[in-house]
Amino acid sequence: MPALRKQSVNPGTITLGAPSAFASAEKVFKNIFRCRKKGLEFLGQVSIDSNSQRVKWEIFNEGYYDLFPHEMSDVQESLQGRLLGQVAQLELLPESHRTLVRGFLKECRAQARQAELEFVELPPVDERDLQAIYDRLNQEYFNGKVEAKIEWGKNVKVPNRRSFRFGSYDSKNKLIRVHPRLKQEFVPVSVLELTVHHEMCHQAAPPVRRNGQWQTHHKDFKAKEKEYIQYREAMQWEKKHWIKLMAPAPE
């Protein structure tokens, strides 16, 4: 009997709580997170206890799992990997807790591989797959109504001095291009997603003519752009780290 292939699960868009919501008490760190799936938001909490060496997380509303055609355990495994992967990247997380989270993830993955010998191991999910990001955002924010192609732009090897465009939208050809510098690992996925979302907004909220002039980033456009669940976090990262993106991306 041929080995079965385990289906990949997209748990949705995960947003960690703001730094002010990141609490510390006797070496126990907690963070409330939001998970957006199919236009719905669900709250959860992750806890890291360095005293007992435990990492725990939960979704408060189990109705979240009803949105999937997959087994609950598969959804939990996918959500856990993405959630804790983001937690491990928090700048204010003490290194001891970061090590604990990464060790926990490593152990869970080893146990999953041991328990699923009957499945063919799939390649890791590419979180920077433009088409996958576009398709998901289209369903979550635009009801699938945006019709455009998407691709990476040309990797320019000359450093920029002042600024550069993260992305562009060609309305004539209905084509979105994203700057390949956003492929780099130090760039949060939320920044890449906001860029794609921004360009999709150009079609969903097209330019309007007011006072004899065409306005692109008008009031309705900006309101639509801010619907992206990690808008604030992505914009804050851009303001803080934009200068790192002036240099060409390595091959």
In this predicted model, what pLDDT tens digit does every residue of 155-177 receive, in sequence order?
877 766 666 789 999 999 999 99
Residue type, 84: L
**78 Cβ contact partners less than 8 Å away, ≥ 6 residues apart:** 8, 9, 10, 11
Which of 5-19, 49-63, 103-117 tops mean pLDDT? 49-63
From 98, 120, 142, give the residue that closes a domain: 120
Rounded Cα distance between 236 and 191, Å, is 10
Rounded Cα distance between 17 and 13, Å, is 13
Rounded Cα distance between 141 and 33, Å, is 20
> Do 112 and 181 belong together in one domain?
no
Rounded Cα distance between 197 and 228, Å, is 7
- Domain-located, residue 111: yes
> Do 110 and 8 belong together in one domain?
yes
**Residue 201's domain is classified under what CATH number?**
3.30.2010.10
- Domain-located, residue 57: yes
pLDDT exceeds 60 at position 2: no
Distance of CA 141 to the CA centre of its chain: 14
- Domain-located, residue 125: no
Average pLDDT over residues 106-128: 65
From 96, 120, 144, give the residue that closes a domain: 120
Q: Residue 152's domain spans which residues?
A: 130-246
Q: What is the DSSP string of the chain?
A: -PPEEPPP----EEEEPPGGG-EEETTEEEEEEEEEETTEEEEEEEEEETTTTEEEEEES-GGGGGG-SS-HHHHHHHHHHHHHHHHTT-TTS-HHHHHHHHHHHHHHHHHHHHHTTTEEPPPPP-TT-HHHHHHHHHHHHHTT----EEEE-----SPPSS---SEEEETTTTEEEE-GGGGSTTS-HHHHHHHHHHHHHHHHS--EEETTEEESS-HHHHHHHTTSTTHHHHHHHHHHHGGGGGSPPP-
Number of domains in the chain: 2
Rounded Cα distance between 238 and 187, Å, is 9
Q: Which pLDDT value is given to residue 29?
A: 85
- Domain-located, residue 22: yes
- Domain-located, residue 49: yes
> Do 9 and 109 belong together in one domain?
yes
- Are 2 and 119 contacting, i.e. CB atoms less than 8 angstroms apart? no
- Domain-located, residue 8: yes
> Do 116 and 12 belong together in one domain?
yes
> Do 174 and 77 belong together in one domain?
no
- Domain-located, residue 79: yes
- Are 57 and 84 contacting, i.e. CB atoms less than 8 angstroms apart? yes
Average pLDDT over residues 47-59: 89
Q: Which pLDDT value is given to residue 115?
A: 55
> Do 230 and 150 belong together in one domain?
yes
From 90, 120, 150, give the residue that closes a domain: 120
Average pLDDT over residues 4-29: 68
- Domain-located, residue 134: yes
> Do 71 and 101 belong together in one domain?
yes
Rounded Cα distance between 116 and 163, Å, is 48
The pTM of this model reads 0.55
